[in-house]
Amino acid sequence: MPFGRLLGPALILAAWWGASAAGLLDPRILSGPGTVLSTAVDLVEDGRLQGNVLVSLQRAGLGLLLGVVTGVSLAVVAGLSRLGEYLVDGPLQIKRAIPSLAMLPLLILWLGIGEDMKVTVIALGVAVNMYINTYASLTGIDSRHVELAEVLRLSRLRFVRRVVIPGSLPGFFVGLRLGVTSSWLGLIVVEQINATSGIGYMMFQAQQYAQSDVIIVGLVAYGAFGFASDALVRAVERRALSWRRTLAG
């Protein structure tokens, strides 16, 4: 059945609509869908939504970029040299056991409560995800393919380009999808800490004035970006890994 998966969400939406129309919902607890929609329009018209979304996207994007670059660089160092593995892998496996958000107090102490701290928290979570998965796929490169490269006397450069990079790309994309998710998670947390802009700030403000409609607009914005970014990564992954024959298609 086409769009069968939308049935559940549609029913929830209908129940919400019905309950608020029947006056069963206190607007301070949960505004009706109509109110949320008109609030969203108002927020767009006075520019508050776009402005905050832009700030949030910048933070998440910058954190993601830094995290991907750092995580992949460390994975390459650890994955392609024995010394690098000894130096890098241990600390990162320990770091992996400590949630990035638990580092928050220390990072605030070091970096203050400004943008530096916010981007660093996001980047840290992303980097660990990128590292773990990229490193695993680098060290897991099929030894038969390494042997083939040796038989064909491939140069180091060609070996990396033709065997190492394509072979570790699936792991890279697993890391990237987890990294994108973790960048949104980090964003939500850091935007609650002394922020003066961003979707999280907007929602935090609304909480103090009991504006549940604004909070829901913020939630929808987070959800939309989470969904869109994951879909984007998957589309890129499908293109890059088009040689793979998977059951998912």
Tell me which residues touch other proteins (CB under 8 A).
144-145, 147-148, 150-154, 158, 162-163, 166-167, 169, 241, 243-245
Asked if residue 47 lies in contact with residue 215, where contact means CB atoms within 8 angstroms, the answer is no
Report the nearest approach of other proteins to the CB of residue 243 (Å). Answer: 4
Backbone angles phi, psi at 229, to 5 degrees: -70, -40
Minimum CB separation from other proteins for residue 144, in Å?
6
Q: How far is the CB of 118 from other proteins (least distance, A)?
A: 38
Minimum separation from the CB atom of position 77 to other proteins (A): 24
State in angstroms the smallest separation of the CB of 237 from other proteins.
13
* Nearer CB in complex with other proteins: 3/243: 243
Mutual orientation of helices 212-240 and 48-80 as an angle, nearest 10°?
40
Q: In whole angstroms, what separates CA 116 from the centre of its chain?
A: 18
Nearer residue to other proteins within complex by CB, 99 or 166: 166
- Which residue number, 99 or 170, has a Cβ lying nearer to other proteins? 170
Nearest CB to other proteins, comparing residues 105 and 249: 249
Place of tokens 């393919």: 145
Q: CB neighbours (10 Å) of residue 226?
A: 18
Question: Which CB sits closer to other proteins, 26 or 147?
Answer: 147
Residue 49: strand, helix, or coil: helix
On whether the CB atoms of residues 225 and 47 are closer than 8 A, the answer is no
User: How many residues are recorded in the chain?
Assistant: 249
Gyration radius from the chain CA atoms: 23
